[in-house]
Amino acid sequence: MSSDNGVYIIQYKENDYRVSLDSAIDNIDYYPRNTDDWKRTIIDYFGSSSSYKTYEEAMSAAFIIESDMSKDSGYTEYGTCFLGNYRIDFKEIQRRETISDILNP
């Protein structure tokens, strides 16, 4: 059976990276880029992940996560992957989501 998981890195602003251990990462490209649904999907995958200032720091963290995962359950199917620059401002989107939730319960 496929585990469909990996450790994924995105660059979300210049010199800021996020790392996430997830499954079904192809969902981040389901919606057209820069739509609200697309932004929510990115936040679902990476919003609570740690932030790193350099690509090297992000890769080091990703390799540690992958190593720990391998010890626990055997492997990650897709290993560690850099997905590119998504130019997304997590704090702004999370702030807008909170305001939207308050105004539209």
57-98: pLDDT as tens digits: 999 999 998 888 767 667 788 889 999 888 777 666 666 665
Each residue's pLDDT tens digit, 3-40: 678 899 999 877 789 999 998 888 888 999 888 888 88
Beta-carbon contacts of residue 53 (< 8 Å; ≥ 6 apart): 15, 16, 17
Contact 73, 15 (CB under 8 A): no
Question: Helix, strand or coil for residue 37?
Answer: helix
pLDDT band per the 50, 70, 90 thresholds, residue 53: very high
pTM: 0.78
The residue ranges of DSSP E strands in the chain, in sequence order, are 5-13, 16-23, 51-52, 80-85
Residue 105 has a pLDDT of 47
At what angle are helices 90-103 and 36-46 packed, to 10 degrees? 110
Q: What does the alpha-carbon distance between residue 78 and residue 60 come to, in Å, rounded to a whole number?
A: 17
Query: What's at 1, amino acid-wise?
Result: M
